[in-house]
Amino acid sequence: MSTHDEWSDWAAQWRTQPVVDIERLRRRTLAKRWRMLAMVVFETVTAIGALVQTGWLFAHPGLGLRWKLFATGGTVLVVVMWSITLWLRRGTWRAAGSRVAELLRLDARRARAGIRLAQAQLWGFAALLVGVAVLAWPSLQPSAWMHDAALRRLLLVQIGANAPIVLGGVIFCLWYIRRQRRRLARIAQLKAELGMV
Amino acid sequence: MGARNRFAEVLQAHGGLMSRIAASYEADPALRDDLLQEIALALWRALPGWRGEAGLRTFVARIAHNRGASHVLGEQRQPRPGALPEDLPDPGIAPEQHAHARQEGARLQAAVRALPLALRQAVTLALEGFSHAEIADALGIRVNAVDVRLSRARQALREQLGESA
């Protein structure tokens, strides 16, 4: 069989693939687009609402320092959550019409940035633990809590509440770093397959 | 023409191409359906930016392959045992003929999916009837690179289809 015939044969077989329901695909795509749009609007309105509320609390003259600190914490939390949302959604902004090589380079840059971020987070956890240990050192001495039931309870509550959060954060960061490293390996493999190396 | 109408027209004209490219990246029917939706969504976003510098078919193929390559970065899954395709059969073919054609088509699909990415991308476009220049344009490579890839792919497909025959 000639090369041309072989390709023609394969092309004919290739086109016997099942017909796709285009109308269903169109409906689902538009519905997904609306859902994504609605999510962005909801997040924006929520973030603006939270900022207005915390701003009002901060500016209110009748409120004490405790509430003002609460307002500051709230504002920081909103900004952090908003940043995380943007970070997680960054993959959806890529230019779909770009070349595969550019997309792979972008993916690799993001994976490396993700690893750096997670490593910084691990150092942050370590710094937090050291800082807390230094501050609480006098209270952590057995002589301090052995005969003080209230202090003992407080330490137990603090350790019980915060240890799972810190441990969970550390596990997440390690898992994330591993995942991004696997992604980088896969990108390198794809680049090799595409002759980009 | 409204963006919705334009999108519907492009989908109508090139939906089959998009679906077959998605099938070259994902064997699992449910995940393939998700990938096809991702491709359609990317097309919706990119369509206003199309200025006719490349043919529309080439533009659509490029978007589909880019999404496909991103999909490959995740874990590749094998189809679940017993998973039935949700696609519709081609009404123009008799059942026995359809079954045979379907079987042959499935073998070819599996063989194409087993190719390295660079060969797979070139092959899917060649099977869709793209010229070598169009393939080069869609993939951002030179025409002689297309020739090399297609030649290697042909050899690999021959071996694979010959082995499983």
| B49 contact residues in A (CB cutoff 8 A) | 97
Closest-approach residue (CA) in chain B for A106: B70
Q: Does A26 touch chain B (CB under 8 A)?
A: yes
More confident residue, A18 or B141: B141
Q: Inter-chain contact A10–B59, Cβ cutoff 8 Å?
A: no
Distance CA A124, CA A132 (A): 12
> What pLDDT does residue B156 have?
93
Residue with tokens 């094998």, as numbered in its chain = B78
Average pLDDT, consecutive stretches of 10 residues, N- to C-terminus, chain A (197 residues): 80 82 86 83 81 77 73 74 68 58 77 84 85 83 86 86 88 93 88 72
List CB contacts (< 8 A) between A103 and chain B: 66, 69-70
Task: Of A115, A119, A94, give the one whose Cα is nearest residue A105.
Answer: A94
In one letter, which amino acid is A191? K
Beta bridge partners of A19: B88
Encoded tokens for B78: 């094998």
**What ipTM score was computed for the predicted complex, to two decimals?**
0.76
Surface of A (74-113) touching B: CB under 8 A: 95-101, 103-104, 107
Max mean pLDDT among A26-40, B86-100, B141-155 falls in B141-155
Half-sphere exposure of B23 (CA within 13 A, CB side): 26
- Comparing alpha-carbon positions, the chain A residue that sits nearest to B69 is A100
Cross-chain CB nearest to B105 (options A17, A26, A103): A17
Out of A115-119, B100-104, B125-129, the most confident range is B125-129
Most confident of A153-167, B67-81, B95-109: A153-167
C-alpha–C-alpha distance, residues A17 and B91, integer Å = 12
Closest C-alpha among A111, A125, A130 to residue A170 = A125
Please give the pLDDT value at position B83.
39
pTM, two decimal places: 0.67
Cα torsion at A150, A153, A159, A160 (round to 10°)? Answer: -150
pLDDT at B45: 84
| CB-based burial label for A161 (10 Å; 0-12, 13-18, 19+) | exposed
Task: Please write the tens of the pLDDT for every residue from A29-72.
Answer: 888 888 878 877 887 888 788 788 777 777 777 777 777 776 77
Q: What is the pLDDT of residue A196?
A: 67
Confidence band (pLDDT; 50, 70, 90) for B165?
A: very low
The 3-state DSSP class for residue A19 equals strand
DSSP letter string, B76-118: --PPPTTPPP-PBPPTTS-HHHHHHHHHHHHHHHHHHHTS-HH
Nearest CA in chain A to B41: A29
Give per-residue pLDDT as tens, B21-71. Answer: 999 998 888 888 889 998 998 898 888 888 877 789 999 999 999 888 888
3-state secondary structure of A60: coil
Which residues from chain A sit within 8 angstroms of residue B93, using beta carbons? 16
Identify the band that residue B124 occupies on the pLDDT scale cut at 50, 70 and 90: very high
pLDDT the model gives residue B86: 44
Q: What is the pLDDT of residue B101?
A: 67
For every residue of B3-40, DSSP letters joined together read HHHHHHHHHHHHHHHHHHHHHHH--SHHHHHHHHHHHH
Q: Are B45 and A95 in contact (CB under 8 A)?
A: no
Per-residue confidence (pLDDT) for residue A6, from 0 to 100 = 84
Chain B contact for A188 (CB, 8 A cutoff): no
